[in-house]
Chains A and B, each alone.
Chain A
Amino acid sequence: MVKELISSITEIPTPDIVVQQIISTASNPNTSAKELEKAISMDVGLSTKILKLVNSAYYGLPRKITKLSEAVVIVGFKTVRNLALSVFTYSALHSKTTFIDHDKLWSHFMATAIFSEQIAKDIGFMNREEVFLAGMIHDVGKLALDLILPAYIFELANVSKKLSKPMFMIEYENSFENHMEIGEELLKHWKFPEEYVSVAGLHEKPSLNPNSPYVEMVCIVHLANVFSNILLPDTSLSYGEPYLDPLVFSVLGIKPSRLETMYKEMKQVLSKSKDIIFGGVEDETRIQT
């Protein structure tokens, strides 16, 4: 029902031509830094925003980067692509004023992205940039619901808070389409590769499809989502004790005892990435460089 609306309703922003250009340029293996720089500079404000992010405390660069082409070879094509997409996600999230706090939801997106990358680093998973992006857009279903049915998701969040029960569990009890399915649909609509669609669909409960070819990525984002809900409560519209799928342990090859160490690490990462989690990208003055 909502799924059908996604491709037709005008409330849903689509990545504009610039963002699409950036994605395709960054994923073309023969792209040079100059070409990516050119694609990004088509949007006047975008390069400045990306440079601000690259120079943020989270990346902790020893020297300040002033040119986008430099940023591309130093932090990597995919990281620059991720930052461009985060700028887009941020503006999509803030495109309309509704009943929910978009800054908070944004911090949930970003924290989950950062935690996902950190977990990938911890367990030695190679495609860390992809994991970052998957973490950032895992909850776009909530974004879509907020744009299409703002009162519904606001009420859903209220019920979740009142019952102290994760939002997705309440969604399962309703016959209504849940934010995972809607997220899947939105990412398909945005022509994102399959792995991101899978993460959006399975991130609340990876064991729904343990045979997914992207189960590692799904589990990483699931775990990052749990950490994010614990460390940044009251940001994801979901309340209560977060659900941790036991599939995580076998897929990621970690023991439950390791969660405590990981938790401490996430806390540390969080403290040094406050600027990009809470700073947002719209209001440039809030980014500490």
Chain B
Amino acid sequence: MRQFDAIVIGGGLVGAAIGYGLARAGLATAMIDEGDLAFRASRGNFGLVWVQSKGLGAPHYQRWTRLSAEEWPDLAKELGERTGIAVGLEQPGGLQLCLGEEELQKRQGMMEQMRREAGNFGFEYRMLDRRELAEILPGLGRAVAGASWTPYDGHANSLNLLHALHKAFVEKGGAYLPNRTVTEAKAAPHDFRLELGGETIAAPKIVLAAGLGNAKLAPLFGLSAPVWPQRGQILVTERTSRIWPLPLGSLRQTQEGTIMLGSSEEDVGFDTSQKPEIMRNIARRAVLSFPWIAELQIVRAWAALRVMPPDGLPIYDESEEFPGAFTANCHSGVTLAGAHANAFAPMVAAGALDPTMAPFSAKRFDVPAAA
């Protein structure tokens, strides 16, 4: 049996960010990862560090996302210095384009509600009309009525982020255990043992960060993580000269010049196949936004599954039955990487979640619906 200070189940962006944070804090940490058959949302995401739409009606989520966006530059710098891997962070703010007046009005209403709900914490945004937009976005389509802007948004190379977190984790002494599946779990307060098909590991702390796998793992540790797979599809163009000075929500241009087109939401179970109708809608919205995109070659396309809690907000929790067990669940592994490495992991290392994390508990799903 191998004894650790902490075990993280999951080697995606969420698990790797937390695992890195724990290893950096000096904990002997094991990170268990599945094989290539896992759904691996971290290898299929869009790469946004996106703040402006997070937390409508749930200002604690806006604050958590903003904290993450603020931590991101330090994390990116630190990972670059430790691993030599540039994660390509840019945070020039972001625009969400609105096609047609109706979308623009709706967006404006949403942004204003976000500002009201933010209270003293503040929420800076501005609505741009199409004339202002056309000055910074060449070849803007006539369908674009305007856009919302906040200074908080950005994007990064999410594959490099995943690579850098793994490398930094190992360099900090972390034990990366890939191709492992938990075949048996024994939980007691501050004493967790996992059978990984013939090998046993144990630790007084455990963090469930297994993405969609958390739904089944959580109850073994007195936790609840009722996440479901929400499919998203992405189209990718050939590389072009750099055109946009900032990410555009469902459109972004990578540092290498690739243009990525999203986004969609489907409830189709554990199915990562692509659907022509959805791909067509993504392409149409992109071409309505910028007619010149139609000239570009699509060189790749894929579908991946978001890790989606029932209300779309992250679930962070600690077990009352088995203290020392924690869970982290979200669909924004890139955006929240800063918070996971620099805020959540230190809480786990200290032994308890901060009281401000209480609204993220899965207990919110236990409240009976009001009559």
Do the two chains belong together in a single complex?
no
A contact set with B: CB distance below 8 Å: none
